[in-house]
């Protein structure tokens, strides 16, 4: 199944100021998340951003918040590990009318995994971006991706998502998105 920009939303899970410094590969994950947020904005893909226990973990990383706000993202504060267990989240998701969810965030084996499993249980097609998720321990990230794949989530890379959203080299946003695909010079 291809990821379709007109049927997709991007869920950014808990890329927060006090959590990210302890995660393996956090800087690269934040960079990929921002590239996907910016591309979502270019293609009118809705963005949801969750923030877990903000009083303890701080808000979203400043660069993530800036990109998300520019994309018109909806921010969801939560205390449940799974976004899908948070009151009102299902209504917010349903109102967007999208059946595919691309997921990035932290931690892969906790909030990302539980949110993705909840989305699968609710009947959504879930695409977890392997280079867009992090855990403190790489082994936990690997276990989470294996478990999610076994449960029916599709494990993808950020480039795959961006190219599938674009569909062809003649897309009007192709030249805007291309530098994000190529990465830092």
Per-residue pLDDT of the chain (185 residues; tens, 9 = 90+): 999 999 999 999 999 999 999 999 999 999 999 999 999 999 999 999 999 999 999 999 999 999 999 999 999 999 999 999 999 999 999 999 999 999 999 999 999 999 999 999 999 999 999 999 999 999 999 999 999 999 999 999 999 999 999 999 889 988 889 888 887 65
Output the pLDDT for position 112: 98
What pLDDT, on a 0 to 100 scale, did the predictor assign at position 11?
98
Neighbours of 21 (CB within 10 A): 10
Nearest residue to 7 (alpha-carbon basis) of 110, 144, 100, 116:
100
Q: Are 122 and 113 in contact (CB under 8 A)?
A: no
Torsion, Cα 149 35 10 53, to 10 degrees, reads: 90
- So what's the pLDDT on residue 64? 97
Contact between 52 and 10 (Cβ < 8 Å): no
pLDDT for residue 184: 66
Crossing angle for the helix pair 113-121 and 138-151, to the nearest 10 degrees: 0
What pLDDT was estimated at residue 95?
A: 94
**Residue 63 in tokens:** 């660069």
């Amino acid at each position: 199944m291809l990821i379709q920009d007109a049927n997709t939303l991007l869920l950014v899970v808990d890329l927060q100021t006090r959590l990210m410094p302890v995660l393996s590969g956090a800087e690269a994950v934040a960079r990929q998340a921002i590239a996907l947020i910016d591309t979502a904005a270019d293609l009118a893909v809705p963005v949801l951003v969750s923030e877990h226990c903000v009083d303890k973990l701080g808000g979203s990383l400043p660069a993530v918040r800036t990109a998300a706000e520019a994309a018109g993202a909806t921010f969801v504060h939560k205390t449940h590990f799974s976004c899908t267990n948070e009151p009102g989240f299902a209504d917010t998701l349903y109102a967007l009318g999208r059946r595919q969810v691309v997921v990035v965030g932290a931690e892969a084996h906790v909030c990302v995994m539980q949110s993705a499993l909840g989305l699968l249980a609710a009947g959504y097609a879930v695409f977890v971006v392997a280079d867009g998720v992090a855990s403190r321990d790489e082994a936990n990230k690997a276990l989470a991706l294996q478990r999610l794949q076994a449960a029916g989530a599709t494990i993808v890379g950020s480039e795959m998502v961006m190219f599938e959203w674009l569909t062809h080299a003649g897309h009007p946003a192709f030249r805007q998105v291309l530098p994000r695909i190529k990465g830092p010079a």
